[in-house]
Structure 1
Amino acid sequence: MTRIIYQNAAGQRREIDAPAGRSVMQVAVANGVDGIVAECGGSAMCATCHVYVEAGPVDKLPAPNAVEDEMLESTAEPRMPNSRLSCQLVIGPELDGLVVRLPERQV
């Protein structure tokens, strides 16, 4: 299992052991992490799973594709250089210890 750390806007952290092949968004929803709405279910069409990648193996993440890049322009909270759609971050052992911060709001 790969450890993903979700940090809410207030700074509280929750560590979850995540199975490989699932997205950071899917794991959050399955484990009741508040702050990930995921209206489109992970098809990169709504930007309601926006996160800020804060720490961990950031260099192991793939670059955003064109669809993700476009959707990041319509997030409810400001886009930052470390903004990602959590539905596009597929978990593997190389992401162990990844820290994602949730924005104050998604919609």
Structure 2
Amino acid sequence: MPIITWRDANGSKTSIEVDPGANLMRAAVAAGIDGIYGDCGGALACATCHVVPDAAWAERVGPAGVMEDEMLDMVEGQRMPTSRLSCQLQARDDLEGLILDVPVAS
């Protein structure tokens, strides 16, 4: 099981083991990761699960799809070039050690 780390704006980190194939937004909500809400339940309709992959991971995580890109225009915080919605990310063994920054909503 890959270990995924969420890092808040203060630099505090929370790492959890996530089953391969599991949805990262659901894993974060279940673990009580602050700043990840998933109000739409992963339906790509709210942008309350915004994360920014650490720069070293951006290529491996990959870019947002067209619909996700449109939703990212609605994030409350600052959108970054590598921003993703965690509801669109699944755990994979090659993401072992992934760090996701959770931006502060403005």
> What amino acid maps onto 1:80 in structure 2?
M
Aligned residues: 106
Listed as ranges, the gaps of 5+ residues in structure 2 are none
Q: Is the 8 A contact 1:56 1:95 kept in 2?
A: no
Q: Aligned pair in 2 of structure 1 residues 15, 26: CA closer, same or farther (>3 Å)?
A: same
Aligned residue runs from structure 1 range 11-90, under 5 A: 11-90=11-90
Greater mean alpha carbon deviation, residues 49-58 or residues 3-12? 49-58
Give the match's secondary structure for 1:74.
Answer: coil
Q: In the aligned structure 2, how far is the partner of 1:32 from the partner of 1:56?
A: 25
Deviations 1:23-62 (A, max 9, x none): 2111101111111011001111100000111155432223
CA RMSD of aligned residues (A): 1.4
Where is the strand percentage greater, Structure 1 or Structure 2? 1
What amino acid is the match of 2:8? N
How far the C-alpha of 1:100 sits from its partner, in A, is: 0.4
2:57 and 2:82 mapped to 1: Cα distance?
13
- Alignment check: 8 A CA contact 2:54 2:100 kept: yes
C-alpha distance in 2 between matches for 1:33 and 1:63: 23
In structure 1, what residue type is equivalent to 2:35? G
- TM-score calculated relative to the size of structure 1: 0.91
Task: Please say if residues 56 and 96 of structure 1, whose CA atoms lie closer than 8 Å, have aligned partners that are also in contact.
Answer: no
Gaps of 5+ in 1: none
TM-score, reference length from structure 2: 0.92
Does the CA-based 8 Å contact 2:50-2:102 persist in structure 1? yes
SS of 1:77 mapped into structure 2:
coil
